[in-house]
Amino acid sequence: MALLALCFLVPVALTWGFYAAEQQTVQRPARVNLLEPVIPAAGLQYLIDDNRALDRKYHRVAGWVLDPANDIDWLRPSLLVVAPDGKAVEFRTNIQRRTDLPRALASERQNGIAGFEVRMKTRYLPAGEPLKLYLVVHRQGRKEVIDTGSALASGGPR
């Protein structure tokens, strides 16, 4: 009987552990000092063109970000959602091919790596309204924050 329980509990515990570790990769709690000014990231072009609640459980934000001067490096964008009290959650984005990038700026490689999409579970969003959206990019080993000037679209009660 103990062996049967062990055979059941070990896979459940391992699955739960892997799930918990993956959730820390997908979204990370953070804290943002709202009194510090956000210095604009120089030379980057970006657009958030989809910001909506899919239903009561999920929000979707999509867009693109690129550095016209550097068409080699992927900026590895993530989305930072900040509540008025400074509590924040950073969500990892998924890469998405974009063919609508401005032709004067984008190379063929950037069409494939500049687009991003993130589907956020509503229960992981910080409490408060309005929730401000920031893009976080990694460029030349530095983490840079871009204030998009937009807020998360409201999707009803949480």
CATH code where residue 76 lies:
2.60.40
- The count of structural domains within the chain is 1
Assigned domain for 2 exists: no
Assigned domain for 54 exists: yes
What confidence score (pLDDT) does residue 34 get? 60
Percent above pLDDT 90 for the chain: 11
Structural domain boundaries enclosing 46? 29-151
CA dist., res. 157 & res. 15, Å (int) = 31
Assigned domain for 13 exists: no
133 vs 16: which has the higher pLDDT: 133
Assigned domain for 112 exists: yes
Assigned domain for 85 exists: yes
**Whole-number average pLDDT of the chain:** 79
**The residue to which tokens 């049967």 are assigned:** 4
What confidence score (pLDDT) does residue 133 get? 92
Assigned domain for 10 exists: no
Work out the end-to-end distance of the chain between its first and last CA atoms, rounded to an integer number of angstroms. 43
* Cβ-contact 81, 132 below 8 angstroms: yes
List of residues 6+ apart from 129 with CB closer than 8 A: 84, 154
Assigned domain for 17 exists: no
CA dist., res. 92 & res. 53, Å (int) = 18
pTM attached to this predicted model: 0.73
